[in-house]
Every structure is written in structure tokens, then in C-alpha cells.
A = this chain, B = another copy of it.
């Protein structure tokens, strides 16, 4: 198994990315192709013992920066780490692409070089989110800022298939994130997507879910557009940070410090970890013809290690084939294809 890693992407590139690759190659026995500037990669590799690890260097001399316009960058920077890594996968020389770089760039590279799955309009970023009962899947958490109702409908189908075939949930419930649980609540996009989701065969659509109830575990799959999904996820991060700050105040201010403080700190750290992408192993860009896992822009070595671990497990689960086959089941009749693509 070979995972193509974008060494140049992310706030902590290249150092933390290369370190993460070394940790993953050592721990999970995978080949990690390091795609990027060879001089930079050489310098980073020299800092670690890498004997017997499978870490081939694949030269790519350009970088898609955070400030780049995604589509233009992917079209013009043909020798960028993202484009070169995607081509490795497309040519069958690697099994998945992992990046912590520009999400828009990754999306554009995925669409242009991998191509979309049959009958899928737009790929979506999907992540597991912690609930009181375990996890739910949320998509889209940031790939598409402006979407159409039929794209949300497809997110529901892909999420349901992911939940069933990859997470092993028997009959996953699908809900759409809205500003109220009552029927009829929602913006225009949600209302239109709801009427499509209600007619979609093969998924158990249960209507609206309020943001408050996502963590209650009231849905196995939560569908939303990438703008709202991003606000939801990042908002959650912010609240955990706020809680940590407030509790730190309490701990340092109060007379009870040692035991209580340690307990609070460790519990909050565990909580933050549950919310932190680094433990989830990034978000899958679902709906492409090849596997792409996008890590948090701020990924450190440990986050990269987990993202590679996640990619490995998803290759083992044959994610792309399972999703494609599951999606085809739902939209195999011409009528339904029309309904889903109208």
C-alpha cells in the first residue's frame, strides 16, 4: 500500500508533515510517497532515523499556497505537490492522496485529476463528530460554500452509504441541519433539499435537526452545505477553547488546585482531542473517483500520522468502491438519476 503525501501543504509544512510520514511509515507499515521539493524533503528526512522505512521521494517543485485561487492554481501549477500527488494516485502508483494544504486546491485537484464518481455532482468533506452516543457523520464541512438542493440530496445519499458500509450502522438516520427541528423550518436551500431528500429511495431521511441536537446523537448522518458545516465545526472548536480558558481561570484562581485541576485539565484535553481533527484523521473528500483525505491546515506530525492511518484503513475498507456501489444502488434507475441530477 502506497499513500501519496503532499509534503508542502499545511501551516506546519514541511517539517511536521515529514515527521508525521515517518511516524506513520514506522507504526502502520505503509509506504508513504513524499511529494514535494526534494532538497526540502532530504533535509527533513536527515533529521530522523529512517532505516528500512518506505519513504520514496517524488519531486514536485511548485506549491499551491493558501492564498492561491484554487482552480487557477491547479491548472497552472502542473508541477505542484498537489497535482503531482494526484497524478500518482490516478496512474495507480499510489492508493490515496493525503494533504493538509489549501482545501479549495485539494477539491479542484480532485475534480480535475481524479474526476467525480459517476452521477455525483460535487464531492463533499465528511467527518465523524462526537456525540453522547458515539459519533455521527457530518457533510459537507467545507468543500462547497454555495450548493444546490440536489447536491445536498446527494450528500445525504453518500453519507448514508458511508455510515452503513464503512461505519457499520445498520439503518442510518439522515437529517438536515436547520434552524429548528420542526418541519418547515429552514432557509430556502434547506426547504428545497428537504423535499428532495424525502423522495430519495434507499435512505432513512428523518427531517430537520437543530445544531444543539447533533451532539445528542439524534442522527447518524447530518447533511449541510460547506459554509454552515464549517461554522458548526469551527464553532465547536471555539467553545472548547473558551471552556479551557474559563476553567483554567477557575483552577488558578481557586483554593482547590491539584486534584481538581488535574482532573479538569485531563478531561478537557480528552474532550478537545475528540473534537480535534488530528485524532479523527482528517476529512474524506467524498464523491471523487479516488481516495483523498484532507487534514486540518494546522496539522502537526501527530495529526498527519493519524490522517495517514485513516487513509490506510479507508483503502482497506475499499471506500471509493463501496460508496460508488452504494450510490449506484440508490440511483440505478433512469428516473432516479434524473431526480438526483435535475
Q: From residue A256, how far is it (CB to closest CB) to chain B in Å?
A: 6
* Copies of this chain present: 2
Picked from B210, B228, B235, B250, the residue with its CB within 8 Å of the CB of A212 is B235
Asked if A76 lies at the interface with its beta carbon under 8 angstroms from chain B, I say no
Picked from B142, B238, B262, the residue with its CB within 8 Å of the CB of A216 is B238
What string of 1s and 0s marks CB contacts (under 8 Å) between A229-260 and chain B? 01111111111111101110011001010011
Task: Tell whether, in the assembled complex, residue B212 and residue A234 are in contact, meaning their CB atoms are under 8 Å apart.
Answer: yes
Q: From residue A196, how far is it (CB to closest CB) to chain B in Å?
A: 18
Residue picked from A230, A241, A242, A264, most chain B C-beta under 10 Å: A242
Task: Tell whether, in the assembled complex, residue A145 and residue B242 are in contact, meaning their CB atoms are under 8 Å apart.
Answer: no
Residue tally, chain A, CB below 8 Å to B: 61
What string of 1s and 0s marks CB contacts (under 8 Å) between A324-341 and chain B? 000000000000000000
Q: Of the 9-residue stretches A53-61, A77-85, A179-187, which lies at the interface with chain B?
A: A179-187
Asked if A214 lies at the interface with its beta carbon under 8 angstroms from chain B, I say yes
* Distance A263 CA – B260 CA, assembled complex (angstroms): 6
Q: Which residues of B contact A241 (CB under 8 A)?
A: 132, 212, 215-216
Residues of A near any B CB (own CB < 8 A): 66-67, 130-132, 142, 145-146, 177-180, 182, 186-188, 190, 210-216, 225-228, 230-243, 245-247, 250-251, 254, 256, 259-264, 267-268, 270-271, 274-275
